[in-house]
A and B are shown apart, each in its own frame.
Chain A
Amino acid sequence: MSYAASLATERTSRPTLRLKRMLSGGAAVVFVLYLAMYALYAWFEPSALSLYTFTNLMNNSAPLAIAAAGETMVVLARGFDLSVAGVISLTNVFMAIYPIEGPLGALASLAICMAIGAAVGAINGFLVAKLGLQTIAATLGTMIVCQGLSLVFLDAPGGYVAQWVSYELTDTLFGVLPISGLIVLAVALLWAGFSRTNTGLGIYAVGADEQAASLSGISVTATRFAAFVGAGILYGLAGFMLSAQTATGDPNAGESFLLLAFAAVALGGTSLSGGRGGILGSIFGAGVLMLLQKVLFAAGVSSFYTGMFQSVILVAAIVLGNLIGRTFSKGAVR
């Protein structure tokens, strides 16, 4: 029995399932929220509609968006991955101490960053899927090890990221399309394809109900492993994009991503207990988090009030998402 077939018998037919998943999952809600916030931003600060500002915003949001996308894969399979902080630091340090110039150099750096991420993801996957450790504890361990490695390679912020990376990747294509935005788009498209494969569907199935997934012939071990490796690759990409933006290395660069990545995932409507949601929501969730700072600044909210507003908006967004989700999917969920 193939995975897809088993899934089909397990649940309702797939297209409707996906539609419901999208609406109740909150990707649409967070997208609307993003648009509304951008409108608010543009209202306060008309230059927000300029290409320059938009490009800056994209550059600023891309690392978190990609990191959150990676985190989503693990969360969907019902797990927490703390190693996101470690991998971003490690790849950022690598970019700063071994800059490789030119477009080919950038490609090579990118490949190495993704390989670093994949390696850490594979270790996580082995510890969790094969040895049966709890995700949060195992990835805490790998995160700490990665932080240590970053410190060994670079004991204080410094180094220079290759100029080609730091200039070209923060620029625009044809003068209108921010490259960082295109890279995020590429991640979203790749996910859209991947989530239709057996492994992609398997991640949802394992996250929703491990036992049922296992009974219907899905290899829980392989699926979990794949989710961690995929996540690691995306963290590597996030570290790469972060390096392009900051143009320098910092052994603690990834620390601030830890909680933000989870917040973006949750804001994007992905259930933190697995099985429901998607990467698109997380990307917009990350966008909302970064945009929030801009809106609050433009609105003249300053000092410690910013924190209060951030928290209230975070909660309000989730509540709103729940309400809308409930209206759309009355009776459809379980």
Chain B
Amino acid sequence: MRLNKLMKGAASATMIAGLAATFGATLAQAQDSGSDKKYKIYLAMSYSGNSWQSEAANIVKALAKTPPYDKQVELTEVISGTDPQAQISAYESMIQAGADGVISFPISATALNRTIKRGCDQGVKFFMYDATVTEPCAYNVSFITAGFGENTAQALVNELGGKGKIFLSRGVPGNSVDKRHTDGAMHIFDQYPGISVAAEYYSYWDDRTTQQETAKALAAHPDVDGIWAQAGEYGAVQALLDKGGKLVPITGENSDGFRLALADPKMQDMGLKGVSSGSPPASAGYAFKIMMEVLTGKRDLEPMNIQYPLPWVPAADVKLCEGDTFENGCNVFPSEKVPSSFVTEVFNPTLLPELTLTSALDGNPTPGATIQPLPEEITKAPDSPGINCQRCEAPENQYELTKVKATVQP
């Protein structure tokens, strides 16, 4: 009995001592840095844990370590999970700590507004990548308004010749990005009476979930003719392969596995066609570089919504990269180099020539690279109510096709 008690005491003491030690060590570490004046930048992420999120964070970290930013920037990464309150709290802390800039993947388009406004009033620059906020004093850098939904939908309709049973593999229920994409897609599908949506399911932008949900839908509708998917699309390919039989046209986002499949002659023979488009993690790097140019006074830019160009790679344009970055028009990596869930559109030869695979995968700068200035021109994003502005009107032509033309008429 006494031995037991002694053991408990010892175990507790060790635990507390260990805690104190680690805490002290971190403090010492924290106090080491910060001697000469640098820009205090915070990278406020949502969660980290899928390829997309970590690639986006990694390239920001890599850019911050690339000369001359390595001497100018003190970057701190904060992960808030999926809880807007945690991110509100993190933003508050950053403002309090005297941040010069915050680059962030916002968890909510609206809940953070008041905190951001307070930060802006104290001179903090807020740059949002991929997801957006409706607070006008923040800069949004995103592809959301570039028409992913309607363009991929039209591409699918073209492949199907204007008729067939399709699945919609959506993102997260109750999410504004998912809604914008799906609204755009339905705008197209609704014009074609020959197209019927047989099943619509939520895949949480995840390969595994997409595969399982697609498998469930296939059990009910084995005769599907095409799949319109958001991120996680490679799971849809795998579900079709699991079922056996033919493949069907699939449009999806930018996973390496999906692009390789699109270009694989064996898969093509089985019936796989489609286009790879969608959310580019590169927008994080682009946002970071614009922010640095604004902070260092190289660019004079009022807060605005900036549109990142929509990636667009039909099966015929898929080209394997031999090196470690997009060059000579290549846009996919061999499967030995990256996992199938790797999001290829983390590179951009014009906007982000500094980056290579080591940047995207490990957050390391490319040896020998220096920061290149961005092109002068910046594309302004159209208004999209509830996404990048409040109480505003979407333009008439918000669903206008930019990447494909309708080859079949309704």
**A contact residues vs B (CB 8 Å cutoff):** 45, 47, 53, 56, 60, 63-64, 150-151, 154-158, 166, 242, 245-248, 250-253, 255-256, 260, 290, 293-294, 297-307, 309, 312-313, 315-316, 319-320, 323
Q: How many Å lie between the Cα of A67 and that of B289 in the bound state? A: 41
Name the interface residues of B101-140: CB closer than 8 Å to any CB of A.
108-111, 113-114
Q: Which of B48, B82, B111 has the most CB of A within 10 A?
A: B111
**B contact residues vs A (CB 8 Å cutoff):** 9, 12, 15-16, 18-19, 22-23, 26-27, 29-31, 48, 76-79, 81-86, 88-90, 92-94, 96-97, 108-111, 113-114, 172-176, 178-179, 386
> Pick the contact of A157 from B89, B93, B96, B110 — CB < 8 Å?
B110
CB distance from A333 to the nearest CB of B (A): 15
> Pick the contact of B29 from A294, A300, A315 — CB < 8 Å?
A300
* B26, A157: Cβ atoms closer than 8 Å: no
> Pick the contact of A155 from B81, B85, B179 — CB < 8 Å?
B179
> Residue on A with the closest CB to B83?
A256
* B173, A251: Cβ atoms closer than 8 Å: yes
* B27, A256: Cβ atoms closer than 8 Å: no
Given A63-B85, A156-B179, A316-B16: A247 and B110 within 8 A (CB)?
Answer: yes
* A302, B174: Cβ atoms closer than 8 Å: no
* B83, A248: Cβ atoms closer than 8 Å: no
Which residues does chain A contribute within 8 Å of B18, judged by CB atoms?
A: 312
CB distance from B216 to the nearest CB of A (A): 17
Given contacts A303-B77, A303-B78, A319-B12, 10 further A-B contacts (CB under 8 A): A45-B96, A248-B108, A250-B111, A290-B85, A293-B90, A294-B89, A300-B26, A306-B79, A309-B23, A316-B16
CB distance from B176 to the nearest CB of A (A): 4
Q: How many Å lie between the Cα of A309 and that of B25 in the bound state? A: 12
* A60, B386: Cβ atoms closer than 8 Å: no
* B174, A250: Cβ atoms closer than 8 Å: yes
* A256, B111: Cβ atoms closer than 8 Å: no
Given A246-B110, A248-B110: A158 and B93 within 8 A (CB)?
Answer: no
* A319, B82: Cβ atoms closer than 8 Å: no
> Pick the contact of B386 from A53, A150, A158, A247 — CB < 8 Å?
A158
Q: How many Å lie between the Cα of A316 and that of B19 in the bound state? A: 8
* A297, B90: Cβ atoms closer than 8 Å: yes
* A157, B108: Cβ atoms closer than 8 Å: yes
CB distance from A58 to the nearest CB of B (A): 12
Q: How many Å lie between the Cα of A193 and that of B48 in the bound state? A: 44
Given A290-B89, A320-B16: A255 and B82 within 8 A (CB)?
Answer: yes
